[in-house]
Amino acid sequence: MEQKGRFGIHGGQYIPETLMNAVIELEEAYEHYKNDPEFKRELSALFNEYAGRPSRLYYAKKMTEELGGAKIYLKREDLNHTGAHKINNVLGQALLAKKMGKTRLIAETGAGQHGVATATAAALMNMECVVYMGEEDTKRQALNVYRMKLLGASVVPVTTGTATLKDAVSEAMREWTNRIADTHYCLGSVMGPHPFPTIVRDFQSVISEEIKTQLYEKEGRLPDAVIACVGGGSNAIGSFYHFIGEPSVRLIGCEAAGRGIDTFETAATVNTGKLGIFHGMKSYFCQDEFGQIAPVYSISAGLDYPGVGPEHAHLHDIGRAQYVPVTDDEAVEAFEYLAKTEGIIPAIESAHAVAYAKKLAPTMKKDQIIVVTVSGRGDKDCAAIARYRGENIYE
């Protein structure tokens, strides 16, 4: 039997029968529109005119000099409209959903960035929007909840399980089985059943496409390393994609280690998880010996997910990409460091990538180049980081 949407042994379509025709319909529509000149033109216009692409590739001179090793460039996805890379995928999927005749978007969100992006696209394209968000995350990211509502979306706090991102995904899937005909599930990361990991990756691959062009313009060559944070892994796969076939480029995904990979309070899936089947895909998951999905922890609501996208699991298996753990402490320190050094406040998710770049750069030569994807901006995190540092600030 043909197994669709596999990355090595990972991926697949482990979903209820009720959703099968919906994902098949989605795959057919995507296969049709992805090469349709009109679709491509519309999406490109949205990227450029609405989202503000291409995003800048910024040479972080002070950071480079201070660390005293490789040259560091920051891919500024934080400068996109809505403040993160999430908009790339959402504009693609919303446009696709619109072409498919869908009038309603549902989405899960962790930190709220994907929810805000989906609410934004829904407002722009006159679509109804419902966002599922773990109740715990609605508290951690209250400002983003307000933003989504302001944009006309309804936000449903999810109280089941650990009340975080994985439960928001489960609840969005449940809602999709309930209402399929007019509804597209705008999944926010390179995860879930086929064709989502492929669709989301393709829409996010604009990141590496631009990095490649921009770095050629500035340096006339490929980078030596590309670093991005990984929850489900959409900004990372977007940053890696056009370099996968370039063996000289090291690809490094930074997982949220929370309080450390030797503790239970971690979300570092590749480093601590094992092979499993969940949320529509085969991949690595944090789980116990009987396959019960483990409660995960990270200071970052956006990386607080017990799985990882199937393509990352495959890149790990074949040794093409490396996945490193970064703790809360390291991420918070990098959050503050980038703010003070470059005047750029990264999302706490992206700060995980910055933290690893800080470790790696000094070990490399001055003529080498690292690109770090700053997947989002950190305004949303300021109050939480202040609290982490013992200051009682509330939004």
Partner 1 sequence: MSNIRQAFEKKAFIPFVTCGDPDLETTKQIVLAMERAGASLIELGIPFSDPTAEGVAIQGANLRALSNGITTDDVFALVKELRETVKVPLVFMTYANVVFSYGIERFCRRMAEVGMDGMILPDVPFEEKEEFAPVCRKYGIDFIPLVAPTSEHRIEKIAKNAEGFVYCVSSLGVTGVRKEITTDVERMVSLVKKANPDIPCAVGFGISTPEQAEQMAKIADGVIVGSAIVREIGRCGRDSVPVVSDYVKRMVDAIT
For partner 1, the binding residues (CB under 8 A) are: 1, 3-4, 12-22, 160-161, 166-167, 170, 173-174, 177-180, 274-280, 285, 287, 289-293
Helix runs in 182-223, H state only: 196-204, 206-219
- Residue nearer to partner 1 on the CB measure, 176 or 241: 176
Specify which residues 278 forms β-bridges with. 281
Q: Which of 71, 75, 86, 212 is catalytic?
A: 86
Report how far residue 392's alpha carbon sits from residue 389's, in angstroms, rounded to the nearest whole number: 9
Report how far residue 293's alpha carbon sits from residue 311's, in angstroms, rounded to the nearest whole number: 20
Report how far residue 320's alpha carbon sits from residue 318's, in angstroms, rounded to the nearest whole number: 6
Report how far residue 186's alpha carbon sits from residue 22's, in angstroms, rounded to the nearest whole number: 12
Q: Is 86 a catalytic residue?
A: yes
Q: How far is the CB of 274 from partner 1 (least distance, A)?
A: 8
Tokens of 167: 């439960």
Q: Which of 170, 189, 283, 375 is catalytic?
A: 375
User: Listing from the earlier edge strand, what are the strands of the sheet with 369-374?
Assistant: 57-59, 71-76, 369-374, 225-230, 250-258, 321-327
Helix-strand-coil percent breakdown of the chain, rounded to 5?
A: 45, 20, 30
- Residue nearer to partner 1 on the CB measure, 13 or 373: 13
Report how far residue 379's alpha carbon sits from residue 95's, in angstroms, rounded to the nearest whole number: 28
- Residue nearer to partner 1 on the CB measure, 45 or 275: 275
- Residue nearer to partner 1 on the CB measure, 86 or 279: 279
Q: Which of 27, 75, 102, 108 is catalytic?
A: 108
Q: How far is the CB of 4 from partner 1 (least distance, A)?
A: 7
Q: How far is the CB of 141 from partner 1 (least distance, A)?
A: 22
Q: How far is the CB of 308 from partner 1 (least distance, A)?
A: 15
Q: How far is the CB of 116 from partner 1 (least distance, A)?
A: 25
Q: Is 340 a catalytic residue?
A: no
- Residue nearer to partner 1 on the CB measure, 80 or 287: 287
What spatial distance separates the first Cα and last Cα of the chain, rounded to whole Å? Answer: 53
Catalytic site positions: 86, 108, 375
